[in-house]
Structure 1
């Protein structure tokens, strides 16, 4: 329909202009100024104003959509994917025996020992370097030494898991 493609305010303006032009172009009879019977003119003017008001008010109860009427919003549906059990490859399984606890000046820290991983984990050189950390700890003699290792929180975010301890 043509009316749905045009804005309502434009349609109202055109219709009101057409009614006003029709009323203005209608022939007006000359009246005697002394007669004093202007009731017909007043009724005609009031009828014109009522018609103009009805056209301008319109029916604003329904929302206007740019592409016609929408009965309900579109929600796409996706097919269900089959459930697959979560598998972790051996490549991602770290030996839990390499998990060490270190006491530092800032508190207790837990990480995978770099030396232990190099001995017991085949893919130690492929671990993410962003997870590597260096700690300063006291050894048994009270001397501060550095220990290198991997933070377990960082590794778990990248898919690595520790095997169970037996």
Structure 2
């Protein structure tokens, strides 16, 4: 039972008890003392009812939310003028370090050759000598000599170099 319904039930029982006690009185005649008592009881019940009503009204007022039809303008905040910071020199990306750059092989040295055994991908030795500064540091076990329909070719096997950490320079 909620507190609200409990109060209603209590008020109903109180009024019923008051009425039943008034009906049970034996004499039909009422003297002035009985009349005064009845009026005092009615006035007491009215006062208690008014107190309960006022308390409920106060609780409702506590839960009211103030709403406005138009928003209140915010208080202006003073901010001093600061000129924008401008970098005097433009920023350029740094080049790759030599240890990383040395693992990038030139793209135009990558060739595909047709052989009697099938297609073979490799980096040409002469092209690498002209365009790559670290040819002497390439793994020697990746050196290949293949026979093509146009003669023999010397170079480095592309798969072997990729396994060793080398990659194709794009761009």
The structure with the larger Rg is 2
Q: Same fold (TM over 0.5)?
A: no
Q: Which protein is richer in helix relative to its size?
A: 2
Flag the structure with more relative contact order, 1 or 2, with Cα contacts below 8 A and sequence separation at least 6.
1
TM-score (norm 1): 0.42
